[in-house]
A = this chain, B = another copy of it.
Amino acid sequence: MQTKVLVDNILNTRYEDIPVEVIEHAKKSILNWMGVAIGAAYHPSVDMVLELKKDLNSGEQVSVFGRSERVDLLLATLINGMSSHIFDFDDTHLDTINHPSAPVAPVVFALGEWYDVSPKKLLKAFILGVEAELRIGNVVYPSHYDLGWHITSTTGVFGAATAAGILLDLDAEELLNAFGIAGTQASGLREMFGTMTKPFHPGKAAQNGLLGALLAKKGFTSSKQVLEAKRGFASVLATEYDLSRLNENWGKQWELLKNSFKPYACGIVLHPSIDACIKLREYAKPEVVKQIEVNVNPYVLELTGKPTPKTGLEGKFSIYHSATIGFLEGNAGEDQYQDEVVLRPDVVSFRAKIKPRVNSNLREDEAVAKIIFNDGSEKSVTVTHATGSINNPMTQERLNLKFSQLTHKILDEETIERLIKKVMDFENVVTVKEVINLSTVSQ
């Protein structure tokens, strides 16, 4: 019954019913998603998946973000969903460690481009897709995640099916079938973290959810109770779950509003330390610094205690590197986690000056950093809530900057500016294609 109620809730929600603040936050989510998707578009793993086009003699239908190639609908959702999760820099629903845009946005843009969908309809599909997956995540979190499931992928398949279902104009029975076909494909093991297969997950979820909706549209039959059935999603993929959370306060409370954006291209636990070191750089040039003491919650050092990282990826798990680049460069974007930056002599030598100290009185989104100058004097700063946390969300300016830093190697400055404007005014653009054209490069 709960699956049916969710489907009815989805289909009964009109664009006009969605609060303006939800639409605004959705556009920010799309902007953030698009930035990470474009930024990672030339990662080797993307090239590998793109080669499937040749292996399969597959069709040219829609765009790959940040690139010139065109591929079929299913391959496009796989690639765009994957690229947006490669940097681990996409949006996060902190309550459930769910990255909601990666499996949903690729679907709305693939179908939006191919069927020339109206921008408002695309926004609605994105919003309801995200809302569905986050609510399903609420039902099964945390036991589902603890068991070993990559929740972004397992719930994302439902978000993708929801979004596709709206854009394909499924009726209630068809959308129920789409949920069944999508849900039975729910998969993605946390064991894959640290390999190319992690970002593959939300791409595959996008693809599988879209496939479910395409088949449901043709009359393909499935279970009508995939979420709540005895051998359905919640019961099989979670040891404890609460189905009452699925539809509670539908239309009144929006999970999408809890979606947050990372300012830095590394795990959230490092963000307060980076914030603090960026503040400190106002007080000193590197040559007068003897040492920087970074006081953090003990959990931080457990996860990021790597003193001498050798690669960009290792740098993301090093408080030493992250604090260093925060101080030296005033940023910790993807550019600061390149292999060559991690190995740069000035970075390596400054890293030795970082002294992390654990303090269990500090929360995870809090940090205190102190410079000890060469002359022995000191200067201390405190970060109460890290940038990007619920209590200190990214500003539009900061989000625009992030977008620009992620895409500047691929798009020119003017295009970036126009693209940001179009996305933040998405409901008023004339066609989806004018946005997509700015997001791709010519051959």
Contact = CB atoms under 8 A, between A and B. Distances in A.
Interface of A: 44-45, 48-49, 51-52, 55-61, 72-74, 147-149, 180-181, 183-192, 195-197, 200-201, 204, 211, 214-215, 218-223, 225-226, 229-233, 235-236
B197 A189 contact: no
Contact of A147 (B44, B59, B236): B236
Contacts of A231: 148, 189-191
A204 B212 CA distance: 12
Contact of A220 (B48, B56, B223): B48
A225 B194 CA distance: 13
A187 B187 contact: yes
B189 A187 contact: no
Given A57-B72, A59-B57, A190-B231, A197 B218 contact: no
Nearest to A75: B56
Contacts of A186: 187
Given A189-B236, A191-B231, A197-B223, 20 more contacts: A45-B221, A48-B219, A49-B215, A52-B215, A56-B58, A56-B74, A58-B58, A59-B59, A148-B235, A180-B197, A181-B200, A184-B191, A185-B185, A185-B187, A187-B187, A189-B223, A189-B232, A195-B222, A196-B222, A200-B220
Contacts of A181: 197, 200
A45 B220 contact: yes
Given A148-B235, A197-B184, A236-B148, A191 B57 contact: no
Integer count of this chain's copies in the complex: 2
Contacts of A190: 231
A57 B200 CA distance: 23
B184 A192 contact: yes
Contacts of A60: 57
B220 A197 contact: yes
Contacts of A72: 56-58
A184 B61 CA distance: 28
Nearest to A50: B218
Contacts of A225: 191
Nearest to A153: B184
A186 B204 CA distance: 12
Contacts of A59: 56-59
Given A56-B59, A215-B48, A196 B221 contact: yes
A236 B189 CA distance: 8
Contacts of A149: 236
Nearest to A78: B211
Contacts of A58: 56-59, 72
A195 B179 CA distance: 13
A73 B56 contact: yes
